Structure 1
Amino acid sequence: MMKSILRYLTFFPANLVFVLLAYLLSPVLAALSLATGPKLPGFLRWFSTTDADLDGGITQNLMGYKAGLKGWRLWWQRTCWICRNPAHGWQSEVLGMPAAGSVIVRQVVSDTPKNQWYVMEAARGVRFFCWKRDQPLFGGYYLKIWLGWVNKSYDGRNHHYAFQIGPKRRK
């Protein structure tokens, strides 16, 4: 398990650079997408999600994402999508762990507060982890924390590297 934590910490600086780049480049990438369509070309897909294009908020029925937008509104919506999911392609394609043949070898889940711990093993025997926690705050808000590699493979190919810490509102 210590190797998994060391691997995670080793990847952290590169991940941080790509996440910051995603935030900084999001207006330019969204503008490019107005000419190329909702899928970014080539390696620029590292700045988008692997399981959805830049209009993923619409297909996933997320509040605030609307179909049929054009021009500035579409640009803004795609900019927001990139910022909502910064560098997911990078986190999956480059830093991710292969999903094929991977298994969960340990799982601990509690509901109060919501806390999840997974230890997984790739087909080649490499172990990796995922820790998710919803830490209650106040006024219907909680702090969402995801560290490790996501226990589900969203694209069917990789468990993407996760570093998410941020406030969320309960529905």
Structure 2
Amino acid sequence: MTASIFRYLAYLPANLAFVLLSFLLSPALAAMSLLTGPRLPGILQWFSTLDADLDGGIGQGVKGYRADLTGCRLWWQRTCWICRNPAHGWQSELLGMPAAGSIIVRQVISDTPKNQWYVMETAKGVRFFCWKRDQPLFGGFYLKLWFGWVNKPYDGRNHHYAFQVGPKRRS
């Protein structure tokens, strides 16, 4: 388990660089998508999610994402989607752990506050972890904390690297 913590920390600078690059490039990538369609071409898709295109918020029912937008409003919505899910493709393809044959070795879940801990193992016996916590704040807000590798392979191939800290509002 110690090895996965060191691997996680070693990947952290690259992850932060990819996320920052996603934020910086998001307006240009969204503009390109107006010409090429909602899925970015080739490895540029790595700046967004692999399991959804740039209109993913619509299909996933994310509040505020609309299907009837065009022009500048569509560009802005896609820019926001990239910023909401920065570098997920990089986090999956380059920094992720393979999902095929991976198993959950240990799982601990509590509800107050919502706290999840997973220890997983790849088919080759490499262990990795996921820790998620929703820390209540005030007024229906909470602090969403995710570290390690996400326990579900959203793209079906890899558990993507997760470093997420941010306020969220309960729906």
- Output the TM-score relative to the length of structure 2: 0.99
What is the CA deviation profile of residues 76-126 of structure 1, one whole-angstrom value per residue up to 9, with x for unaligned ones? 000000000000000001100000000000000001110000000000000
* Residue 43 of structure 2 corresponds to residue 43 of structure 1: yes
- AA paired with 2:155? D
Q: Structure 2: state its 5+ residue gaps.
A: none
Give the secondary-structure state (helix, strand or coil) at the position aligned to 1:82: helix
User: What is the CA–CA distance in structure 1 between the aligned matches of 2:63 and 2:169, rounded to whole Å?
Assistant: 12
- AA paired with 1:153? P
Matches within 5 A, 1:9-48: 9-48=9-48
Provide the aligned length of Structure 1 versus Structure 2.
171
Determine the structure 1 residue equivalent to 2:111: 111
User: What is the CA–CA distance in structure 2 between the aligned matches of 1:147 and 1:137, rounded to whole Å?
Assistant: 19
Instruction: Give the superposition deviation at 1:162.
Output: 0.3
Instruction: Give the superposition deviation at 1:68.
Output: 2.1
* Residue 108 of structure 2 corresponds to residue 131 of structure 1: no
User: What is the CA–CA distance in structure 2 between the aligned matches of 1:141 and 1:20, rounded to whole Å?
Assistant: 25
User: What is the CA–CA distance in structure 2 between the aligned matches of 1:102 and 1:50, rounded to whole Å?
Assistant: 19
Instruction: Give the superposition deviation at 1:42.
Output: 1.2
Q: Structure 1: state its 5+ residue gaps.
A: none
The percent of aligned pairs where both chains have the same amino acid is 80
What is the CA deviation profile of residues 136-167 of structure 1, one whole-angstrom value per residue up to 9, with x for unaligned ones? 10111000000000000101100000011000
Instruction: Give the superposition deviation at 1:36.
Output: 0.5
What is the CA deviation profile of residues 5-56 of structure 1, one whole-angstrom value per residue up to 9, with x for unaligned ones? 0000000000000000000110000000000101111111110101100000
Determine the structure 2 residue equivalent to 1:162: 162
- AA paired with 1:147? F
Determine the structure 2 residue equivalent to 1:59: 59
Instruction: Give the superposition deviation at 1:2.
Output: 0.4
* Residue 168 of structure 2 corresponds to residue 140 of structure 1: no
Give the secondary-structure state (helix, strand or coil) at the position aligned to 1:106: strand
User: What is the CA–CA distance in structure 2 between the aligned matches of 1:115 and 1:61, rounded to whole Å?
Assistant: 24
- Output the TM-score relative to the length of structure 1: 0.99
Q: Which runs of 4+ in 1 moved over 6 A?
A: none
Determine the structure 2 residue equivalent to 1:4: 4
